[in-house]
Amino acid sequence: MVFFVLMAITVFFTFTIGFTVIFFAIRYRKGSSADRSHAFSSNLKLEIAWMGIPLVIVLGIFAIGTQVFVEMFIPPKDATPIYVVGKQWMWKVQHPQGRSEINEIHLPLGKPVKLIMTSQDVIHSFYIPAFRMKQDVLPGRLTSEWFLPDRVGRYHLFCAEYCGTEHSRMGGWAVVMEPADFDKWLKGSPDGSASGSSDAMPSMASSGAKLFEKYHCTGCHGANSEFKAPKLDGVYGGQVPIMAANGKDVIFVDADDRYIRDSVLLPKSQVVAGFEPVMPSYKDVIKEEELLQIMEYIKSIGRKEGVR
């Protein structure tokens, strides 16, 4: 839409200006007998028009452009999350249902997908040219991107940020499948060999629940913990009261992916009001993939409506 509007405007002005230039060049060529008296020195109405009309056109382009931009950045509520971790030199992909893969990302046809991405070392960039999508993947931060696969097929996946000697080999395939095939694929064994029989593959949330115990989060956050720490049920998707930097005021922040992540890696940065800042940081303790699983677990016990 934006493309065609821009195209139409460009074509219109190219021809209008082009023809006018040629017309004047011929009419007022040296030696022609055209009337050159009464030349205008200024014309206020004309000048206002040639500022006003382009202003309206350009603001119009801005409006439709903004709309597309906003659509691009706000994923639909029902988008399936898929987690991506970039690492020198491979892409690690985890599906919430449990299956994980390397340098391949399987996608269901016709369902919006939201990638939640981070890097375990340097900056990478997740790039699938056929989808017109490219998003930087940064260490220590979550980035996301959504799209709607609308054609079955295999598409090239690249890393589009120079990230070391084997950067050029850091790539693979995005495979868009019919939803039924995709569901079958999801049930295959986690290491990629499709066995088809095992229902036992743990979902990311249940792996996360195990890690939640393994890292002794339960010691403080567990249901029957003596320790004064907030219960995490219903936290995700809501709002959390946080102590402001001045130590007096309370501000509310959205408990989204980023918040959960920061709470685990930088617990002192956002302390829940009414609690002591005693939670240890798990930076460099928990691996990125594990953290994503813990996040899925905390999401699974969060509010069901969800935030984006």
Instruction: State the residues that interact with Cu ion by CB under 5 A.
Output: 124, 159, 163, 170
Q: List the one residue from 103, 222, 282, 303 that touches ligand HEC (CB under 6 A).
A: 282
Question: What's the closest the beta carbon of residue 57 comes to ligand HEC, in angstroms?
Answer: 48
Q: Which of 217, 256, 292, 302 binds ligand HEC (CB under 6 A)?
A: 217
Question: 124 or 261, CB closer to Cu ion?
Answer: 124
> Which of ligand HEC, Cu ion, none is residue 116 near (CB under 5 to 8 Å by kind)?
none
Strand partners, 35: none
Structure token pair of residue 145: 């991107």
Among residues 113, 294, 296, 299, which is the contact residue for ligand HEC, using CB under 6 A?
A: 294
Residues 184-213 that bind ligand HEC (CB under 6 A): none
Residue whose CB is less far from Cu ion, 136 or 181: 136
Residue 227 binds to ligand HEC (criterion: CB under 6 A)? yes
Whose Cβ is closer to Cu ion: residue 171's or residue 237's? Answer: 171
Token readout for 301 is: 């016990």
Contact 204, 293 (CB under 8 A): yes
- Closest CB to Cu ion among residues 111, 134: 134
Q: How far apart are CB 172 and Cu ion at their closest, in Å?
A: 12
Of 184 and 228, the one with the shorter C-beta distance to ligand HEC is: 228
Phi/psi for 90 (5° steps) reads -160, 165
Q: Which is closer to ligand HEC, CB of 116 or CB of 174?
A: 116
| Distance from chain centroid for Cα 191 | 26
39: left (phi over 0), alpha (psi -120 to 50) or beta: beta
**Cα–Cα distance measured from residue 132 to residue 10, given in angstroms and rounded to the nearest whole number:** 23
3-class DSSP assignment, residue 111: coil
Residue type, 4: F
CA 262 to chain centre: 17
Instruction: For tokens 């009001």, name the residue.
Output: 273
> Distance between CA 29 and CA 192 in Å, rounded?
75
Amino acid found at 77: K
Minimum CB separation from ligand HEC for residue 128, in Å? 31
Partner interacting with residue 272 (select from Cu ion, ligand HEC, none; CB below 5-8 Å by kind): ligand HEC
Among Cu ion, ligand HEC, none, what binds residue 159 when CB lies within 5 to 8 Å by partner kind?
Cu ion
Residue 142 found at the interface with ligand HEC (CB under 6 A) = no
- Contact call for residue 84 and ligand HEC (CB under 6 A): no
Report the partner that residue 163 touches, choosing among Cu ion, ligand HEC, none (CB closer than 5 to 8 A by kind): Cu ion
Alpha carbon dihedral 49, 50, 52, 55, in 10-degree steps, equals 160
Q: Helices H, strands E: what count in the chain?
A: 7, 12
CB 118 within 8 A of CB 142: yes
Which spans of this chain sit near ligand HEC (rule: CB under 6 A)?
A: 215-217, 219-221, 227, 229-230, 232, 235, 240, 255, 260, 263-264, 267, 271-272, 275-279, 282, 294, 298
